[in-house]
């Protein structure tokens, strides 16, 4: 069975916040994604509120009928918002104020107690917990140690390697293939520890196929590429094309 697709709609809110106005509506975006066949909606409530706002989470919780996954830092403030709004899943991510986007996986080993506390609070309220993590075996074992039910493998490095045309042949292709193998080994390790496996960051219509072939990866979280394409072909079609890219 093909992996599930959660569409990350943060950048619909990025456009809205560029003018601090009411459009485009992320509620409309979520409904269109669901109607196009997405399995879930993902949003990242950042501490600086640069795109998604607290009110968006409340509204999405009422509207999303598939699966609402909220990415957040493992802070007390964020955890209390999750406990109040009860998304289906929380994905714990690292955050630094000046980053353009999430820069890599959460260092669970270095932040073990803080992350464990967040996971315990969320799971006590039956919120499914995923941790965004580099494809590193020790970090994955630590994610199991803090009680996460899923790891989302960070595909940023793979995405970077596949961006240029050099990735199509020679050394570039070898590096990309080696990174796919690293992700596959990480996915197998997470499954062997009893966790579910997701993947995301920087994935596109062109590069998702190699990862969709890894059987342990059951879920993708993809945003920027889908929202970018939707500018030209519409959101419904952009989502359908990504579902097709994952399935083939
Ligand atoms: N997964 C996580 C944990 C992320 O932080 C992001 C970016 O917000 C994504 C997936 C989606 O990445 P992209 O927008 O590059 O598809």
Identify whether 201 is a catalytic site residue: yes
Q: How many other CB atoms sit within 10 Å of the CB of residue 138?
A: 11
Q: Which ligand 1 atom lies nearest to the CA of residue 201? A: 12
| pLDDT tens-digit readout, 24-71 | 999 999 999 999 999 999 999 999 999 999 999 999 999 999 999 999
pTM over 0.85: yes
Among 136, 36, 148, 167, which residue's Cα sits nearest to residue 92? 148
User: Which pairing describes strands 150-154 and 4-8: parallel, antiparallel, or unpaired?
Assistant: unpaired
Tell me whether residue 189 is one of the annotated catalytic residues. Answer: no
- Identify the active-site residue in 11, 34, 51, 71: 71
Tell me the pLDDT of the chain averaged across its residues: 96
Active site residue 11: no
Which CATH number belongs to the domain containing residue 99 in this structure? Answer: 3.20.20.70
Q: What is the pLDDT of residues 179-221, one digit of tens each?
A: 999 999 999 999 999 999 999 999 999 999 999 999 999 999 9
Q: Which residue segment(s) compose the domain that 208 sits in?
A: 4-247
Domain count, the chain: 1
- How many angstroms does the Cα of residue 123 sit away from the middle of ligand 1? 23
62: exposed, middle or buried (Cβ count in 10 Å: 0-12, 13-18, 19+): exposed
């Amino acid at each position: 069975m093909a992996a599930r697709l959660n569409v990350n709609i943060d950048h619909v809110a990025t456009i809205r916040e560029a003018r601090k106005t009411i459009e485009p509506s992320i509620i409309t975006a979520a409904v269109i994604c669901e109607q196009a066949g997405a399995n879930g909606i993902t949003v990242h409530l950042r501490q600086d509120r640069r795109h998604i706002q607290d009110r968006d989470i409340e509204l999405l919780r009422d509207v999303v009928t598939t699966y609402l996954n909220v990415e957040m830092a493992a802070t007390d403030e964020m955890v209390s918002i999750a406990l109040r709004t009860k998304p289906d899943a929380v994905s714990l991510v690292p955050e630094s104020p000046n980053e353009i986007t999430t820069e890599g996986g959460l260092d669970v080993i270095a932040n073990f107690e803080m992350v464990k506390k967040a996971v315990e609070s969320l799971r006590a309220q039956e919120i499914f917990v995923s941790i965004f993590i580099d494809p590193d075996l020790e970090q994955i074992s630590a994610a199991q140690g803090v009680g996460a039910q899923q790891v989302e493998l960070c595909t940023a490095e793979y995405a970077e390697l596949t961006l240029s045309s050099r990735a199509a042949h020679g050394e570039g292709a070898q590096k990309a293939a080696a990174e796919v193998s690293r992700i596959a080994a990480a996915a197998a390790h997470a499954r062997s520890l009893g966790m579910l496996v997701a993947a995301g960051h920087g994935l596109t219509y062109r590069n998702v196929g190699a990862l969709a072939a890894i059987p342990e990866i059951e879920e993708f979280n993809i945003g920027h590429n889908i929202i970018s394409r939707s500018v030209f072909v519409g959101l419904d079609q952009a989502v359908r094309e990504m579902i097709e890219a994952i399935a083939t």
